[in-house]
Structure 1
Amino acid sequence: MIVKDNVSVIIGPNCNMPAISLGALANFYNVPLFPWGLATTRALEDPDRFPTVATLNTGTYALGMGLHETMRHFGWTDFAFVYSTVGYSKDKCAVLKDDIEKAVSDYNDSVQISFIYEFPEHKIINQTETTRLLRALKPRARIFVVCLSDNLGIKRDFALSLVDAGMVNDEYVWIIVDTRTRGYVTLEEGVIMDVWVDRYNRNDGRDEEAKEAFKRIFIFTNLIPDGVNYTSFGKDVIRRIADPPFNCTTACDNAKFKIPAVFAGQLHDALYLYALALNRTLAANSSNYKDGNMIISNSFGTFNGWSGQVEINKNGSRNPTFFLFSLDKNAKAVNQGNVFVDRSTLIFTASYKSEADLWWNRKGFARPLNVPICGFKGDNCPLTWDQQYLGIVVGACAVVIFMGICLIVIAFYLYYAKQRENERADKSWEISALLLIKAKSKAGMDSKRSLQSGPSTTSTKMTIDSKKDSLRYGFFVYNREIVAASKYSSRVVVMEDNRAEMRMLRLIEHDNLNRFIGMSMDGPQMMSIWKYCSRGSLQDVIKQGKISLDAFFIYSILRDIINGLNYIHHSPLACHGNISSECCLVDERWVVKISYYGLHWIRSQEKRRKKDLLWSAPEHLRNDDIYGSKEGDIYSFAIVASEVIAKSSPWNLENRSERPEEIIYMLKKGGNASMRPTLTLGENMDINPAMLHLIRDCWGENPRDRPTTDTIKSLLKSMHSGRSDNLMDHVFNMMENYAESLEEEVEARTRELVEEKKKSDVLLNRMLPRQVADKLKLGQSVEPEMYEAVTIFFSDVVKFTDLAAKCTPLQVVNLLNDLYSTFDGIIDEHDAYKVETIGDGYLCVSGLPHRNGNEHIREICSMSLAFMACLKHFKIPHLPKERVNIRVGINTGPCVAGVVGLTMPRYCLFGDTVNTASRMESNGKPGHIHLSSDACRLLNRIFPSFQTEPRGEVIIKGKGVMETHWLIGQDGDSDCEVDRTEKSPPAMRLKDDSPLYRQYQREATMEVDMIER
């Protein structure tokens, strides 16, 4: 028909399936198609599939969107959908079901269809079967959406089935949905009747029951046009049916044709819409009047038609408005709200004023729930109070009783555990006096070690430097650690709160608080035990003055004190109450630690010295307050700071005329110009002036004007910003600088010491043999030693007494010094040792302490000849005409040598060989070298180059007659020959022994133990 009859437009069809088929053809031939009536399927709204279709009816998908919005408005999340295909249009409800299901699922929110049911065709017309089926739906939902046909009285029968099923009550909500309905009236055979009226002569007399049922049934549909104008339009439609080309005269004279069809307005609006689109197309391009796509695109827009306002969207579908109707008390239809639907907007506009207007026939005007309180099956109803809570109450009572018993048991257990814990904690601070061992001083330990001459094995942790016990303090060893004890003269009963305080003190750990170790209560005195700080109190450090307290040192000390105070002020202790330089201890790392805090309960029983009150704040002195306060601690801190800065005792008592009692009196008196310590800076003290102002603020007369510890910490930090806070680093730097200067000084002193040592060694080696001197320097004892063969030399100045008489004492000394210096030079050239000189006597020996075999006789003989030779040229300055002459005696034999005495020790020779050598000298002649027979015999046998001659027999005192010899000279050495022409005194000089011999006679009687000492 489209091809043969050259169709330009298709108006219709008015059913879903034909419209879909025809839409495909229209798309193929590019012919515009305007469906109307019951063609409501969503498929026609697909612009890609049907680009040449514009629908004039209301789509069922849009109805589903409107229904979804209605559910959301009332807060219903679950509803059931039931429908039947019995009636004039069998596919109407099926299509509606699909589109509603699709619309709800597309939103994907809390609203959902809980159940979908289709009534069988043979049962929907049977009211009994319908009632049975409805009863089966009770457990499924409480909100039901229903789709039924308008004819055959199906809606009336359905309402009566609801009554029979007992489903017309406050729990259920029924909503009939349709796009082709006149609401609560039906039109059949041209007669309009209320939907609850029996139209088909069932004669059941239940119209009133049906009407009451419909008062609880809502209708959700699009608005059917009504009013005077639409009535005129309807009459005009009926009249024109008789005109050509319809020519329906006799056939249309039936009563059922006196009222126009429901969709007559849509048919009119479809033709009118095509006309509007065609005009727009012709205006744009007259040649496109058959272009279906162009016609449809020009149909978009809005106009007022006989089916209501027509708004065609870009999908070619109509944007509808749906209405929710219900019956009032008088069974009149009332619009309760409307939903405007387009592709982007869903708006439910309520027409009722309150929920009471909408739910007027419900108990309490309450909105039904989508899930009943008792559940769908009625088995979840709330129990009565007794049913619901009696068991709970009984159980709760039992639980409470049980819990009460448990709490009592737990409380008792916790109390017992707490007591045990307290007992255990008390053991940590309770210290038996038997465990406190008196600490030993290092001085005592060192003295004991010196007596033992053994190495030290005593740990430094077990000894103290110089601390001595006093009436107030003692030092002990506890657990192999030195501790300090604060002694108390009074004995106090320790209460539980006191024990709790000591348990708390035992747990305190802070870098600037000295650790409390415990309390000894079972000894003669009660003592609090504290950790020992090796450098003593801050007062001791200031008094000793062993280290330079520069600005950084002062800052570090004050910072440590205020850090410790700050911890105390923020702890349960609240305040110290007794801050002084005595309780500020210094450990080995120069960290200041506050000690003797807490324990007010025992300190309050102690008598305070007047000196101790010099740190107390004036307000505490006036009130005799021994507990103190935070403000009082700040005042005491300022007094300690003045000590540190001035490097003096508190209030500089040594240089003040006032006594402590007078100072305390002036402090109590107070006034505008209150008495305070003088802040005297030492030399080269670069103290920040702000620190002095801070100290003055801290000892202010008004306690409220004194800064807090937090403020002092902040101010001290600002005074020292940007510099290191490590005191040990500072001390190390000072020590490095001191070490450098000390190294230079030590190096210089070492050089001087080396020079002095060299001089001392030279002097010592001149006094003693080198081997003997080395042993003495090493602290080794020199045992007497026997030498088998040595040669001893004695000499004496002839007529020395006469020469001395001609000289002054000073000249005598100079004479002997010149002579012996000449002799000493000769001795240095020989392997001989000068033992000593006594007056004009001279004693030498060879062969000891260094043994030289038989060389000793040659060395002594050569030396003797050299002595004689040098006298030829020796002159006396003040007696140029006088000549010095000597007598020499030599003997060879064994002797004993050793050191005699501790003070001015002497290396002495003992034995008969010494006596014989002395006799050889005393019995010799001036200018001659007298040899004993042993010496001569050894000399001639070993060194025949020496010339000797026998003297003959001589009577020697203590020896009798001895044969002796003269040493004449040595072959090849004429300078050393003895001048034998000189006249000598008689040979026998038995009564004129030399002083040197007499001295040795006295020393021979000394005991051996003197040598050992």
Structure 2
Amino acid sequence: MRDLNVDVVIGPPCAQPLEVMGVLSAIYQKPVLGWGFVSESELSDKSRFPYVTTVLPISQTLGMATSKILELYDWSRIAILYYADDQNYCQSVINDVETVLSEPDRYPVQILVKEALEVSTPYATRSTLEFVKSRARIILFCGTSGGVKRDYLLQVSEMNMTSDEYVHVLLTMRSIGFGVQTNLGKNTFSNGLTPIWESFTEEPDGLEDTVKKAASRMLVIDINGDVHDTDFLTYLTKNIFNAIRAPPMSCDTSACLSSDAYMGAYARHLFDVFYLYGLAVSRLNSTNSADYNDLRKLIPQMVTTFDGMTGNVIINNNLARVPFFQLYGLNSKYEQIPLVNMSFANSEKLDLVYSNETEIWYFWGGSRPLDIPICGFSGRSCRGNFWKQNGILLFVITIVLICLLLTLLICLGCTLRNRHLQRARLDSEWQIPAIKLTVPEKTSKSSKRSLQSAAHSIRTGDSRITGASIFHEIYTVMMYEKNLAVTTKHRTSYLTKEDRDRFVKLRKMEHDNVNKFIGLSVDGPRFVAVWKMCSRGSLQDIIARGNFSMDYFFMFCIIRDIAEGMNYIHKSFLRVHGNLRSANCLVNDSWQVKVADYGLDNLQEEETPSKKRLLWTAPEVLKGSLTVSQIEPSADVYSFAIIASEILTKREAWDLANRKEHVDEIIYMVKKGGSRAIRPDLVLDAEVSNSLLTLVQDCWAENPEERPKSEEICKALFGMTPKANTNLMDHVFNMLEEYTTTLEVDIEERTKELTLEKKKADILLSRMLPKQVAERLKAGQTVEPEGFDSVTVFFSDVVKFTILAAKCSPFQVVNLLNDLYSNFDTIIEEHGVYKVESIGDGYLCVSGLPTRNGHVHIKQIVDMSLHFMEYCRKFKVPHLPKEVVELRIGINSGPCVAGVVGLSMPRYCLFGDTVNTASRMESNGKPSLIHMTADAHSLLTTHYPHKYETSSRGEVIIKGKGVMETFWVLGTSSETGTLSSRTTPPVTDENWLVQRAESPALEDEVTALKVM
């Protein structure tokens, strides 16, 4: 110290090294400032450490705070548990606390248990906790890290020490309370710390709720670390890591490099240490004394007060910090809140933050736990001597009461059994076992019969249930006792006696216009109501399809059926339907409308109706949110009027597709009502009786009292019947005959269109694939690869096409190739050659497959090649008249395999070395010349001697083939005179090799494009 001229020593953060530095400071007369784990009471002995100053209170003051809390809540019997650590921090703290609690002038406390715990020995910990359970309910404990504290809470939870009887008090001096400084965990407190119950590992252990419950039975005594200058604290937190990583600290540990979220636990203490020394030096400087080593002047300047980063720092004359403690707890939202403030500046002062003590003990049932349970630690102290004194008498009385009760139960049981049997008999009339409801099998086409068939087109007059519909959103078709039935599912899980009696009556209801209620299945996952099948579905679906021609008589009969069904329900015990709409007006095979979904009030009340279902609901029901039992029959009359408007206009309710208002707006305006209440527009496309229109308008009157009764509606409709002697079914048959005639004409026209389209498809397919292959694919047959012993393959390429294309626009390039290849396709057809494909400026043809033609294939390919050359000499590029289009052609003969490749866009492809060699002939050929292999030349001269003039090119090195002898086709013998006008084939290939050097990638490009 003397050699380095040390002015001040910032002590180590651990107590034992600081004690050593304190002894040295006394020898060398240097001030030492302590921070970190330095709360031992020995450091306050100024006879040994006269120049040691700490910014952390000594742990004896924690004992003083603990004593005050125990006295406040009248706890005199406690247990003390602590976790051993390398720095002996908890052991030292607990010893100081125990010393303070044992002082004679303090509140008397009996320490029943004091034990050290270890995380590595959970069995010993559980054994210690089991011993504590029999001795104490107020447990003080100390742990240094968040993991140790969390382990303690898990252990007490496993030992069932988290009931209302237990209070666990955590003793700490780190200003973090229930929090932990970590980046892990899902939630944080308002101070940015992670709650102690959160998992501190990368993968959560799933025990958060268990620890959270244990933490709710915990209180914390900790130093008040509230900082006044929060802005500077935020600045310090953001910049401290950058500073510690930079020189001279140059920290490169994982803790320094991994996160910037939290600074170290005692980093703020270190800041206050430097700040304290700076204040002391500054104050000393203000006295015009520049000797900082004069401890007699410097030490008094350290007795000061300032707002630090660990709260309000007060250094007393003993060079120790004056403590401010707080008792923390959790509120009902598991938020950390201060409960008690404790100050030891001049005197021991205690301030309660709460106004009502029940706020503290929210998790303890609102009552303060006792240090000795009412019923003792074993729970047996509450048992009195009542049973010993009166046991025999109570036993006799109990026997007598049991006998009387048994007699009463027997009589009651017989009565209930008879009632149960009677109820079971009645219930069997409507209860349907779920196992008897099965999904119907699809019927075959041969089983369809006229109006009872499953026809798909409404235009034939048969509107049976097919595809997606409103009907299927409400009903499910099931099989019951070999007959089709429609079912509705309900969420109700119980039935009242009134419900059961109602179902018995529903089962007996019979009317032509009321759908038969078959029964209810109650033994499945959901209640299922079963109704008689109406195969044509709901009236709403029939109207929604919009392509069934309903004349006035047809509409009138449907309206009359609904009115009759409604009238029957109003006269029955039900009195009201309550949910009448076109979706539950079902139509059977005879076009008879049957009202369904009646009488299930309790089952439907638990279901929330959709907005659209309210379009049929009367205004008074919307306003009052009435249940079915509260609805009057006049509400059904209003719903009947809305259904009648659907039938007359042949559109859905309120014609939503053509209205500017949305469903919510319509419901609001109907509910609002008024003298000019909104109603559906009666836009009719057929002549309708004015009497019927007036009746509909009367039925949807705003005032329920002004609406006619259902019986009056039926009488009015009876007087309006347009055809008294006409049956609805006869009328429907006449309509069906008209539809049949129209349908036959449509079928004939569609058949002609189909035949024409099939021809077009066949032509297109024949252009993509050989005719034989196309026919097999159309027949659904697989096309196996086929080998051919002898074919001739043709490859061609436009010479210097890239240069030519560079002079053209993309559209001009397409038009150029289209003109050229369209004429090539015509030439191919003349010579009977099959075109395989064209890619860019490349062209691939073959002869001898798929139809074998002996050796004619060589002649067809050679003739076609000469024809191509002749055409190219005459071909002119429209936009480049001076440019000449030249071809380079390669021919080879030999065996080949052909087949269809792929399922999507199938291709007829060639495979084999013959194809590859033909490609080499083209790529190694010359402009405006036909290049062929020796095999092709031999086949040509053998079968067609003296007909064609050829010339040997000599031996040429072919890529992938080595040295080959090849030939030029100059023309036919009759064309010898014209050959002199062509370019004579050179004797050597030097000039041609120069040309090939201009496009070295051409050969591989052609091969990649054309060879499969």
What range is the shorter-chain TM-score in? 0.3 to 0.5
Larger radius of gyration between Structure 1 and Structure 2: 1
Structure 1 length-normalised TM: 0.47
